[in-house]
DNA sequence: AATGCCCTCAACCGCCGCAAA
DNA sequence: ATTTGCGGCGGTTGAGGGCAT
């Protein structure tokens, strides 16, 4: 009856991941692709449960993650989406390319909540706090806008229901159908506005960039993870140099002194530094870089592999 | 310089829905 | 039909770093 247990919990390591563990996990996924987390720890030589490996990869190691603080725009997006969706962090994250639910959840709890409270807005209900408190607040523009929308919401006397989510999703689908773009599994990030009870407008967030939806990230095959061998590491900086701890020789890690400079959009999905970093990982002693296929990929010019393909369809579309 | 408090965020925990056996 | 594991999700925790005193 049932499946085999995913892992023997006895003797499994917990707590922060070491650089060595990160390297093992990255090596394994780049070699074997992303599938069957249950088998990953054993095959990768890790004393972790599959769940822990999955979380580490999806929340921290995935190369398509945008790192650093959320931009103002992303923050506003999170607030808007939270107003409609509540604490459905994964749904919210699916509209923010390169961001994880965990990251958004943390940012909400540590930054946005405080900001909203300062503005006299209840972060949970998105409605004004007690009027006495609200009257003390400065009347800045964002607050007025938020209050206006909240008043509108109150006028309608229609509390948001689960149904709203379905409407949003159907609207998003409609929107995606209308937008002419290469067929990929990615979805454009959008701004969702609920003007009237039944009127939801979807506005593309990033018209010029390819969309991305974490919810839709398929299992990744090894050949879908393209790592450039470019030596043209630029001075652009990643905001969190977790790979710095991997003790790679002869590699000057980007300076991370100015966190603001590294913030959000400065770190492209396919930042040269990051790609170079992964490449260096692959060239580590315990990796067989003589493997024919991978060598071929590694030796290709960066311009040919400027992005990581997240599914076969888009991968083929982008490259050929 | 030392101490304590606060903040951030990576990681864990527990639950749920789905699907495999 | 039932049991059980997997993957995903949201809530919570606690280590570590930053800051104030």
Domain ranges of chain A: 9-63, 67-128
The residue among A193 and A307 whose pLDDT is bigger is A193
CA A57 / C1′ B11 distance in Å = 12
Establish whether the CB of A9 is closer than 7 Å to any nucleic acid atom in strand C.
no
DSSP A2: -
In a 13 Å sphere around the CA of A221, the CA atoms on its Cβ side amount to 6
pLDDT digit string, tens, across residues A149-177: 433 433 343 333 334 444 444 444 444 44
Tokens representing residue A144 in the block? 């007025």
Positions of strand B less than 7 angstroms from a protein CB: 7-14, 19-21
The closest nt to A55, taking CA to C1', is: B11
Question: Nearest nt to A103, CA vs C1'?
Answer: B9
Q: Do domains A9-63 and A67-128 have the same CATH topology?
A: yes
Is any atom of nucleic acid chain B found less than 7 Å from the CB of residue A1? yes
Q: What are phi and psi of A122, to 5 degrees?
A: -70, 115
CA of A249 to C1' of C20 (A): 39
Residues 10-69 of chain A with CB under 7 A from strand C are 15-16, 35-38, 50-51, 54, 58
What pTM did the predictor assign?
0.58
pLDDT at A2 over 80: no
Report for A52-66, A178-192, A213-227: range of highest mean pLDDT: A52-66
Architecture of domain A67-128: Orthogonal Bundle (1.10)
Q: What is the 3-state secondary structure (H, E, C) of A248-276?
A: CCCCCCCCCCCHHHHCHHHCCCCCHHHHH
Are the C-beta atoms of A313 and A185 separated by less than 8 Å? yes
Kindly report the bases of strand C lying within 7 A of a protein C-beta atom: 2-12, 15-16
Asked if strand C comes closer than 7 Å to A106 Cβ, the answer is yes
CATH architecture of A9-63: Orthogonal Bundle (1.10)
pLDDT in tens, A81-108: 888 888 888 888 888 888 888 888 888 8
Whether the beta carbon of A150 falls within 7 A of nucleic chain B: the reply is no
So what's the pLDDT on residue A9? 56
H helical segments located in chain A: 19-32, 40-44, 50-56, 72-85, 89-93, 101-107, 113-118, 131-135, 141-156, 163-178, 259-262, 272-282, 292-299, 312-319
Q: Which two tokens stand for residue A65?
A: 């993650």
């Amino acid at each position: 009856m049932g499946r085999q247990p995913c892992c023997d919990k006895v003797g499994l390591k917990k707590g922060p991941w070491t650089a060595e563990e990160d390297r093992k996990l990255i090596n394994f996924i780049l070699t074997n692709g992303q599938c069957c987390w249950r088998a990953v720890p054993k095959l990768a030589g890790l004393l972790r449960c599959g769940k822990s490996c999955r979380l580490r990869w999806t929340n921290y190691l995935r190369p398509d993650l945008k790192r650093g603080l959320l931009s103002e725009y992303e923050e506003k997006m999170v607030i808007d989406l939270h107003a409609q969706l509540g604490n459905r962090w994964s749904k919210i994250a699916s509209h923010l390319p390169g961001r994880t639910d965990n990251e958004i959840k943390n940012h909400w709890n540590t930054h946005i909540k405080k900001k909203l409270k300062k503005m006299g807005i209840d972060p949970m209900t998105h409605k004004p706090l007690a009027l006495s408190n609200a009257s003390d607040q400065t009347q800045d523009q964002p607050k007025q806008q938020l209050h206006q929308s909240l008043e509108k919401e109150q006028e309608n006397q229609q509390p948001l229901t689960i149904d709203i989510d379905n409407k949003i999703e159907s609207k998003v689908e409609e929107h995606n159908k209308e937008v002419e773009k290469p067929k990929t599994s990615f979805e454009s990030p959008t701004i969702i506005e609920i003007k009237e009870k039944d009127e939801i407008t979807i506005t593309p967030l990033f018209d010029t960039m390819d969309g991305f939806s974490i919810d839709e990230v398929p299992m990744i095959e090894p050949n879908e993870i393209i790592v450039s061998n470019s030596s043209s590491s630029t001075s652009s900086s990643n905001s969190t140099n977790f790979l710095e701890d991997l003790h790679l020789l002869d590699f000057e890690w980007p300076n991370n002194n100015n966190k603001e400079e590294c913030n959000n959009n400065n770190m492209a999905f396919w930042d040269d530094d990051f790609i170079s970093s992964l490449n260096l990982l692959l060239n580590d002693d315990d990796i067989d870089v003589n493997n024919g296929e991978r060598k071929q990929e590694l030796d290709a010019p960066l311009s040919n592999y400027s992005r990581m393909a997240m599914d076969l369809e888009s991968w083929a579309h982008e490259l050929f």
